[in-house]
Amino acid sequence: MSKDNHWIAGINAVSAAVEHDAENVREVLLEAGGRNPRLAAIEVEARRKDIDVRRVAQQALDGVAGGLRHQGVAARYAAARTWDEHELPGLVEAAGGRALVLVLDGVQDPHNLGACLRSAAAAGVTAVIIPKDKSVQVNATVRKTSAGAADIVPIIRASNLARALRELQKLGVWLYGLAGDAGDSVYGLDLRGNVALVLGGEAEGLRRLTREHCDGLASIPMPGGFESLNVSVATGVVLFEAVRQRQAG
């Protein structure tokens, strides 16, 4: 796993980093005179964990936040863990036959990826797999939108997505792709065992080679007649259908 230092900004992102991954937070910057009680809580928690805290002018925060809305706080951070592909078998094995993997094939919008990661963390996914190429990576905007989920969920950057899908199948994971033209409904799938849910990007959806590696394709019924959902919304729908089934059974 590799780490790079960079700045994260915003109350949710910094709070999550301090709470869940304090050893990788190098310092916290707070706006001088900021009176938001959540800023005070971040300061107390950071000092309790021996993280350097500095009060700085708003202009300094504007500079390190890189255009993001910082809400009076930023942190210099060793980036979220980048999990290697060879760690995937261990993650699946540790799930004890109930692995839930999210595969995102070419999501381009950082806000969408961040929202997908937030849903993934809430659903307790085993791992999220994204391609190294033709996909947005975990940047500052993704981290902020994810509200800390990028620090919690194992994110694997696959150099060859088709190979990663074949590896999942060898590990006993069933691959279900989401496609608007599929005849089967996601609500008819059995999502209780080792399952990977595969969703495509905003423009093209699932690429042909990705579709061909799936064990089955399904769609989300939309009685309102609309043709498609935003990828982050679709991700939330299918992940929590899996959660519902697992809690029921």
Neighbours of 242 (CB within 10 A): 23
Write out the binding residues for S-adenosyl-L-methionine: 200, 220, 229
Q: Could you give the CA distance from residue 246 to residue 120 in angstroms, rounded to a whole number?
A: 15
Hey, what's the torsion of the CAs at 221, 222, 228, 233, to 10 degrees? -80
What is the separation, in whole angstroms, between the first and last Cα of the chain? 35
Backbone angles phi, psi at 244, to 5 degrees: -60, -45
What does the DSSP 8-state code read for residue 188? G
Write out the binding residues: 200, 220, 229
Q: Could you give the CA distance from residue 55 to residue 28 in angstroms, rounded to a whole number?
A: 9
Q: Could you give the CA distance from residue 105 to residue 135 in angstroms, rounded to a whole number?
A: 7
Q: Could you give the CA distance from residue 166 to residue 182 in angstroms, rounded to a whole number?
A: 21
Backbone angles phi, psi at 68, to 5 degrees: -75, 155
Backbone angles phi, psi at 128, to 5 degrees: -120, 130
CA 32 to chain centre: 32
Q: Could you give the CA distance from residue 220 to residue 5 in angstroms, rounded to a whole number?
A: 40
What does the DSSP 8-state code read for residue 22? G
